[in-house]
């Protein structure tokens, strides 16, 4: 004769999808500025705790909100790569030496 067995427990557990943590949203202006910056651009990066002057922008990874910079490149030992969370950045600007000279007053040049 045939014997039929019924298992009360399922043979396979349903797999749970790993929960990805939601990345904090960047302000729109900062996101646009980071995506528009070209690699090897010299920038000043301001965070709540520190400011990195004349840092070389290496790249921005929007999926992880990370910014890569080369800092302290003018020292003897050369620079080191720094990876920042983009949400800690309060402002990014170009160094004064690279800003356009259109803001200079023409009267100062004529003497």
The pLDDT mean for the chain works out to 80
Q: Is residue 61 part of a domain?
A: yes
Give the full edge-to-edge strand order of the sheet including 80-85.
80-85, 66-71, 51-61, 41-47, 89-93
Q: Is 8 domain-assigned? A: no
In a domain, 107, yes or no: no
2 within some domain: no
Does some domain include residue 103? no
Half-sphere exposure of 81 (CA within 13 A, CB side): 7
Q: What is the CATH number of the domain that holds 73?
A: 2.30.30
22 within some domain: no
Enter the pTM of the model: 0.65
pLDDT in tens, 57-99: 999 999 899 999 999 888 777 789 999 999 999 999 987 666 6
* 1: in domain: no
């Amino acid at each position: 004769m045939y014997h039929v067995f019924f298992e009360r427990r399922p043979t396979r557990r349903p797999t749970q999808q790993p929960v990805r943590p939601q990345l904090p949203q960047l302000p729109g202006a900062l996101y646009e500025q980071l995506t528009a910056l070209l690699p090897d651009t010299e920038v000043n990066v301001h965070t709540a705790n520190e400011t990195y002057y004349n840092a070389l922008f290496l790249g921005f990874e929007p999926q992880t909100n990370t910014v890569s910079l080369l800092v302290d490149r003018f020292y003897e030992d050369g620079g080191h790569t720094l990876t920042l969370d983009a949400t800690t950045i309060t402002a990014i600007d170009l160094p004064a030496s690279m800003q356009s000279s259109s803001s200079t007053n023409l009267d100062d040049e004529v003497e």
